[in-house]
């Protein structure tokens, strides 16, 4: 039986358009895509490769057990990582043994301070392996700066910021062009070493080169607290000191303050449902975050970073957005329908109450919500007083839901039901139907709208008596009429509306 082939694929410094043609082809054809991430689960490598992924691929998230040198592992930090790489190699070997090709995504170049090399060393002697080089962060930073890196007989020294300050200062004193990687927590030490070596005035700070969040400053002007791990110090060719930088310097984080978070409602489905204000907010953002299928509805833009997440990590998603805004990013958190209706706006605002996010502006851009979309397809069932209630009991007890349903039924309100049922949660919609039959006539009109605006759109007009709960799932919105709601036959199908006048 054929074993699979292992690929270490370099993605370049961050711009998806700097992914090589070969890398893009391999990413799209591989059966298994593997990528590393810290404990938060967000992978920069995956976000860069996202435009080239295809549905149905197996994704292996390789989650680091530690990201600092603090650990209670008996082997210390190095022991914890060695054990981690061994476990990762075993996981990938299972795919290779089964004949599945595996692509391991790597920022920059796989063998240039890359995590892939640890898997290569463990697997390449047993399986066929190929490394696809990528543009390094040093090349990306040099291009972003627009100053020659090395010329003629000059030398280039590349240093990790994790070296001791004395060692850094010694290398910096004797080099021509120098790049110091892995800043973040090491920034104060690197700055001190540059000052000791007498080269602080030559140093440039480049953050997230080639991406929409690119930042270039004189290193001496940078607030140490604002420097993330994916930034570097660059001392370009001394021979070309007179060459100006490519662009105007971006103002420091301290000078311009934090970025912002905009929670954007996409509407129920498709660009026709997207408001001009939402389109403007999405276009102005340099970072997009959201539940994967919702984020897929926004056309990819190579200057923007994208962070797709699972549907049940709203708080983590909100915190990630706010953290990026603290670093100066303009973040759009996308939400289906209207973000203020059972969606991301309240989640973001709740996390934003934490003291560390006190200075981050948060805006909400409304969208067409599902109740409005479904109502418009059948007429005007929300033409008089109505309420919206979520049947999900994940964040509130069913007893509270039942009390609110009873109150709405007794008050003779039209009710729009969100999150009516899922594969594992079916009894709530059945109980709701029974509850309303205690207060409404069996002939009360009921509307079921599924995937409205999408390719699977389905609308059903029925009655409370004939309503079948089994026809409902999480993508369905249910509207139960009041005592005055009417369903009439008209050309093109039944129309449901609730008169504006209520009988005295």
pLDDT at 68: 61
Strands 204-207 and 215-218: antiparallel
Q: How far, in Å, CA of 451 to CA of 458, rounded?
A: 7
Instruction: List the chain domain ranges.
Output: 6-134, 138-255, 257-368, 371-497
pTM over cut 0.75 = no
> Per-residue pLDDT for the chain (504 aa), expressed as one digit of tens each?
789 999 999 999 999 999 999 999 999 999 999 999 876 667 889 989 999 999 889 999 898 886 665 666 676 777 788 999 999 999 999 999 999 999 999 999 999 999 999 999 999 999 999 999 999 999 999 999 988 999 999 999 999 999 999 999 999 998 799 999 999 889 999 999 999 999 999 999 999 888 877 889 999 998 887 788 889 999 998 888 777 776 544 444 433 445 899 999 998 887 778 888 888 888 878 899 999 888 888 888 777 888 988 766 788 889 999 989 988 888 999 998 999 998 899 999 999 998 888 888 999 999 999 999 999 999 999 999 999 999 888 788 899 999 999 999 999 999 999 988 877 788 889 899 999 999 999 999 999 999 888 888 899 999 999 988 888 888 889 999 999 999 999 888 889 999 999 887
pLDDT at 348: 94
pLDDT at 411: 95
CATH of region 138-255, choose from 1.10.357.10, 3.40.190.290, 3.30.950.10, 3.40.50.720: 3.30.950.10
Q: How far, in Å, CA of 463 to CA of 481, rounded?
A: 9
Q: How far, in Å, CA of 291 to CA of 10, rounded?
A: 26
| Sign, Cα dihedral of 420, 426, 432, 437 | positive
Q: How far, in Å, CA of 103 to CA of 22, rounded?
A: 12
Question: Domain spanning 6-134: which CATH class is it, in words?
Answer: alpha beta
Q: What is the CATH number of domain 257-368?
A: 3.40.1010.10
* Bridge partner list, 228: none
Q: Are 295 and 306 in contact (CB under 8 A)?
A: yes
Q: How far, in Å, CA of 17 to CA of 475, rounded?
A: 35
Element at 307 (helix H, strand E): strand 305-309
Q: How far, in Å, CA of 113 to CA of 452, rounded?
A: 48
The reply to whether 257-368 shares the fold of 6-134 is yes
pLDDT at 44: 86
Q: Are 209 and 140 in contact (CB under 8 A)?
A: yes
Q: What is the CATH number of domain 371-497?
A: 3.30.950.10
Element at 197 (helix H, strand E): none
Q: Which of 361, 346, 366, 360 is nearest to 264 (CA)?
A: 366
Q: How far, in Å, CA of 386 to CA of 412, rounded?
A: 9
From edge to edge, which strands make up the β-sheet containing 231-235?
156-160, 177-181, 231-235, 204-207, 215-218
Angle in degrees, CA 395, 458, 372, rounded to 5: 55
Q: How far, in Å, CA of 92 to CA of 32, rounded?
A: 9
């Amino acid at each position: 039986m054929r074993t699979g082939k292992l690929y270490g694929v370099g993605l370049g410094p961050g711009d998806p358009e700097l992914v090589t043609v070969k890398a893009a082809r391999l990413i799209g054809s591989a059966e298994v895509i593997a990528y590393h991430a810290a404990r938060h689960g967000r992978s920069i490598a995956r976000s860069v490769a996202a435009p080239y992924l295809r549905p149905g691929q197996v994704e292996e998230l390789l989650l680091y057990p530690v990201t600092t040198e603090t650990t209670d592992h008996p082997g210390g930090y190095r022991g914890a990582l060695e054990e981690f790489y061994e476990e990762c190699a075993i996981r990938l070997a299972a795919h290779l043994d089964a004949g599945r090709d595996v692509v391991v995504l790597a920022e920059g170049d796989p063998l240039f301070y890359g995590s892939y090399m640890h898997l290569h060393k463990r697997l390449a002697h047993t399986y066929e392996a190929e490394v696809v080089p990528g543009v390094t962060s040093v090349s990306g930073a040099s291009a972003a700066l627009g100053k020659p890196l090395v010329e003629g007989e000059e030398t280039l020294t590349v240093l990790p910021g994790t070296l001791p300050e004395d060692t850094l200062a010694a290398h910096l004193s004797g080099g021509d062009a120098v790049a110091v990687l892995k800043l973040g927590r090491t920034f104060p030490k690197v700055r001190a070493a540059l000052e000791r070596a007498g080269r602080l005035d030559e140093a440039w700070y480049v953050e997230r080169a080639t991406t929409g969040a690119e930042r270039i400053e004189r290193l001496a002007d940078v607030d140490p607290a604002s420097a993330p791990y994916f930034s570097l110090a660059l001392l370009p060719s001394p021979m070309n000191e007179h060459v100006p930088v490519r662009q105007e310097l971006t103002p420091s984080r301290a000078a311009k303050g934090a970025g912002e978070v905009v929670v954007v409602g996409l509407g129920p489905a498709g660009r026709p449902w997207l408001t001009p204000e939402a389109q403007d907010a999405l276009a102005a953002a340099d970072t997009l975050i959201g539940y994967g299928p919702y984020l897929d509805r926004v056309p990819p833009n190579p200057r923007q970073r994208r962070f797709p997440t699972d549907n049940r990590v709203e708080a983590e998603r909100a915190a990630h957005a706010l953290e990026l805004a603290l670093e100066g990013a303009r973040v759009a958190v996308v939400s289906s329908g209207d973000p203020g209706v059972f969606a991301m706006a309240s989640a973001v605002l709740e996390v934003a109450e934490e003291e560390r996010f006190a200075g981050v502006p948060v805006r909400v851009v409304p969208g067409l919500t599902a109740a409005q979309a479904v109502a418009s397809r059948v007429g005007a069932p929300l033409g008089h007083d109505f309420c919206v209630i979520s049947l999900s009991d994940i964040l509130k007890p069913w007893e509270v839901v039942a009390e609110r349903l009873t109150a709405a039924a007794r008050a003779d309100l039209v009710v729009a039901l969100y999150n009516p049922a899922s594969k594992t949660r079916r009894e709530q919609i059945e109980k709701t139907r029974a509850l309303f039959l205690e207060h409404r006539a069996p002939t009360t009109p009921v509307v079921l709208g599924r995937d409205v605006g999408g390719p699977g759109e389905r609308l059903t007009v029925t009655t409370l008596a004939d309503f079948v709960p089994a026809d409902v799932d999480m993508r369905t919105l249910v509207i139960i009429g009041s005592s005055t709601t009417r369903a009439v036959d008209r050309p093109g199908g039944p129309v449901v509306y609730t008169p504006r006048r209520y009988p005295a």
